Amino acid sequence: MKILVVCGNGLGSSFIMELNVKKALTELGKTAEVTHTDLASAKAEKADIYIGAGDIVEQLDERKGKIVSIVNMMSISEIRSKLEPLF
Amino acid sequence: MLTELLNKDTIQIANEVDNWQDAIRLASAPLLQQNKIENRYIQAMIHSIEEHGPYVVLTPKVAIPHARPTEGVKALSMSLLSLQKPVLFGPDKPVFLIFVLAATDSESHLQALIDLTQVLYEPTQIDNIIACQHSDDILKNLKQYSTEERKS
């Protein structure tokens, strides 16, 4: 399972969210490969799950993988509840 | 590391601004003055939000605008603008705290960001910072979350 955290520049918000996705996975007792990148690179990279702010991930083609849109990127519980059904 | 980047020279408190673009310009002013960023970095941050939407609003009330290192960053730096009245970054995205992030590469700023995430996990801590009337008080709030800079 590969999870790609996506933001506009791949520097700030996606890094913070990568930390939070890893915390959410730990809480769920799940393991996955988690990395972060910018939107342009994400379009060319294959992953099982693409996760990020709605404004960003909605620009991805949903045929590529599952797309998870997060409102509060600091909320581990939101991330956890949206990832849980996908495992 | 967080409070090495955020200090009394880079923290500002203002009553209100007209729009989110002005919020980013005002928040960036100390970094521009200190020659840490070029004017085009401010334009790049604004352009990035115009293009991708308000994804820099990481959690309610808080925005972390940033662009790429190649878009006019001269030195790793951060600044904070705290607003008494919120500015809208999107239709339902009122923001009180604007943390401008200027990174020189994809690694060196990460410890400061990790420190910042510790602050932002606590909605009450966010409200405490918004309630501060002086930058010294904001610094006190941030200090407890700032790790020592690792000397290697």
For residues A17 and A49, the answer to whether their CB atoms sit within 8 Å is no
- Catalytic site residues of B? 66
Contact B53 A10 (CB under 8 A): no
pTM for the whole structure: 0.89
- What is the rounded CA–CA span in Å between residue A48 and residue B63? 28
Structural domain including B96 reads: 2-143
> Quick one: which of B2, B12, B20 has its CA closest to B134?
B12
Rounded to 5 degrees, φ, ψ at B120 are -80, -10
Tally of domains in chain B = 1
Residue ranges for chain B with pLDDT beneath 70: 148-152
Minimum distance, in Å, between the CA of residue A86 and any CA atom of chain B = 23
Report pLDDT for B148: 64
Question: Would you say residue B51 lies in a domain?
Answer: yes
Contact B121 A16 (CB under 8 A): no
- Chain A residues touching residue B69 (CB < 8 angstroms): 11
Question: Would you say residue B114 lies in a domain?
Answer: yes
- Tens of pLDDT, residues B92-123: 999 999 999 999 987 788 888 888 988 999 89
Minimum distance, in Å, between the CA of residue A31 and any CA atom of chain B = 21
Residue B127 sits at the chain A interface (C-beta within 8 Å): no
- What the block records as the tokens of B143 is 């200090």
- Chain B residues touching residue A74 (CB < 8 angstroms): 58-59, 117, 120-121
For residues A29 and A76, the answer to whether their CB atoms sit within 8 Å is no
Question: In this structure, what CATH number is given to the domain that contains residue B139?
Answer: 3.40.930.10
Question: Would you say residue B151 lies in a domain?
Answer: no
Domains of chain A by start residue, with CATH: 2-86 (3.40.50.2300)
- Tens of pLDDT, residues A20-61: 999 999 999 999 999 999 888 999 999 999 999 988 898 998
Question: Would you say residue B105 lies in a domain?
Answer: yes
- For residue A7, what is the enclosing H or E element? strand A2-7
Minimum distance, in Å, between the CA of residue B136 and any CA atom of chain A = 26
- Chain B residues touching residue A17 (CB < 8 angstroms): 58
For residues A36 and A17, the answer to whether their CB atoms sit within 8 Å is yes
Task: Give ipTM to 2 decimals.
Answer: 0.79
